[in-house]
Structure 1
Amino acid sequence: MPVTNKNKPWFVYLLRCINGTLYCGVTNDIDKRLRQHNGEIKGGAKYTRANGPCELVHQEPAKDRSSAQKREYEIKEMPRIEKMRLVNKT
């Protein structure tokens, strides 16, 4: 039986763009999402495609999409120094 997206775990992630900025997002397929952000396949944020290539520098699991989005909001509200602490833990 194939794995569907509903059964895949959710993650919050941080990317470091070529210009040094950090981009935060959520996904249930990190490899695919990174390829989208780097313009290898269709999709991804316009910002990351324009400032790529991007490197995955932090990821953390979430119990579901809603939890991932709440954590994404928390991270986006953090000052850069706190985001860098997350990156340096990884």
Structure 2
Amino acid sequence: MSAELSRPWFVYLVRAANGALYCGISDNPQRRFAMHQRGRGARFFHTSPARELAYVEACADKGTALRRERAIKRLAKPAKEALVAAGAGDCL
């Protein structure tokens, strides 16, 4: 198995200046957050800049991260805030 296939992926939540939470996936959430801060990578941040990498959850692979991202996007804001309050996690 190559390093590319075994590299972990992450689901992350970024808090925008207006308090909204954006959910995404990346193999490097810190790099992706830096892109969001520069206004690149997601139109979401064109209206309210990225302010904080609020939550990161490690996943075994990209497919798992995509499924977890869909699940988190379906959550109501209070449930997303609970994830942020609980801190970093791992995909189940």
Compute the displacement of 1:50 (Å).
3.2
Which amino acid is 2:33 matched to?
Answer: L
Higher strand share: 2
Structure 1 unaligned runs (5+)? Answer: none
Determine the structure 1 residue equivalent to 2:80: 83
Deviations, residues 9-58 of structure 1 (Å, cap 9, x unaligned)? 10000011000000000000112101111117xx4101124311321111
Structural RMSD (CA): 1.6
SS in 2 for 1:34: helix
Which amino acid is 2:12 matched to?
Answer: Y
Which amino acid is 2:51 matched to?
Answer: C
Give the count of matched residue pairs.
84
Is the CA contact (8 Å cut-off) linking 1:14 and 1:25 kept in structure 2? yes
Determine the structure 1 residue equivalent to 2:58: 61
Structure 2 unaligned runs (5+)? Answer: 88-92
TM-score after normalising by structure 1: 0.84
Determine the structure 2 residue equivalent to 1:9: 8
Percent identity over the alignment is 35
Which 4+ residue blocks in structure 1 deviate beyond 3 angstroms?
none
Q: What does residue range 2-81 of structure 1 map to in structure 2 within 5 Å? A: 6=4, 7-39=6-38, 43-81=40-78
TM-score after normalising by structure 2: 0.83
